[in-house]
Each structure stands twice: as C-alpha cells, then as structure tokens.
Amino acid sequence: MKLKVQPLTGGAFELYGQVIAAPKTEATAHLPGMDFWVGVAELPDLGAPYSVSYATQEKRAFIQRSAERHMQTPELLMPIGGDMIVVVGAPDYPEQPERLPSPERFAAFWVKEGQGVIFKPGVWHWAPFAVKEKIMLLVVYTAGTAQNDALVVDLPPEAVLEVEL
C-alpha cells in the first residue's frame, strides 16, 4: 500500500500521539545567549526512569516491511541534523498485541528538524526514514523498553508500505 506523506500537525497526528515543535510564544526565560521554553511536552510518569538514547539513520528506500510497538510505553523520537519521515499505525487491538491494523490505518508524516513526536503506547512504528542524508535521532522511553516492551512484526507482503513524497 502506498502512503502519501502528510505535514506534521497536532490534529493529523492526534491518533498516534503528540507533536513537539519549536514554540511560537515568548520564551519562559532569557539567559545570556539563550532563550528557554519550559514544559513544551510531557511524558507520563510510569514509575520508572526514562532512558535517553541516540541512533543514526542513513537514507534508504521508502519501503517499510516491519513494524514494532510498545504496549506500555510512550516513545519520543526527534531528528537531529535533518528531516525524517515516520510511518505510524493506529494502536488498534490492544488485547491482541501482535495483530496489525489494516494498511489503511497507517499514515506517514514529515517531521522537520526541530520537531519531534511522542508515540502513544500501542502505536505501530519503525525506524524513521532520513529524507536527504544520514541523520541522528534522539530516542526517549522508559528504561528497559527495548528489552521488555518491544514487539516486532514483519508486515505480510500484501501490507508492505511504500512512502510517497
């Protein structure tokens, strides 16, 4: 199935989570050479420490053959050094964690450098696509998520997703 990339807006992304973007309001604090905005987004308190990770992603074909989801954990993903495209699937069938939503319940979003997303628990996703070049990613989720709350599924051939710019 082909997915047309959409601009990233709070309304369009609401089913999948929360958008983080540079504020267009006055900074909370002004320091020498620095403006600071407090509380742009919040991750829920899950009673465990958060893990901050970095990853790199090279440009690759805009085809997604796998997906993962975290049933208990939100995930923050933010590109550094370029734009990315994220493909997300609706958090359907929470009682059947391995069951994928129909291909029509997936969407693709263009995330500009300086923006980020917080996936809701149960949202399907995979490694983002670098738009132009190799990018670095900031990844934040509850400590132990990769070991204890990561379900990976290969998409069946008829459900492979192709991203259209």
Q: Which domains does the chain have, with CATH numbers?
A: 2-164 (2.60.120.480)
Rounded-to-integer distance, Cα 104 and Cα 53, Å: 31
Contact 71, 122 (CB under 8 A): yes
Question: How many whole angstroms separate alpha carbon 165 and alpha carbon 143?
Answer: 34
Alpha-carbon distances, residue 19 vs 104, 118, 162 (angstroms): 21, 6, 23
Instruction: Yes or no: say if 53 and 139 are a contact pair by the CB < 8 Å rule.
Output: yes
Task: Return the pLDDT at 126.
Answer: 95
- pLDDT of res. 23: 81
Distance between CA atoms of 83 and 21, rounded to whole angstroms? 13
- CA-based nearest residue to 123, from 17, 41, 42: 17
CB proximity list for 164: less than 8 A, separation 6 or greater? 2, 3, 4, 5, 62, 108
pTM of the model: 0.91
Model confidence at 28, in pLDDT bands (50, 70, 90)? confident
The pLDDT assigned to 24 comes to 82
Q: Which residues contact 20 (CB under 8 A, 6 or more apart)?
A: 40, 41, 76, 78, 115, 116, 117, 118
Least confident of 38-52, 78-92, 101-115, 151-165: 38-52
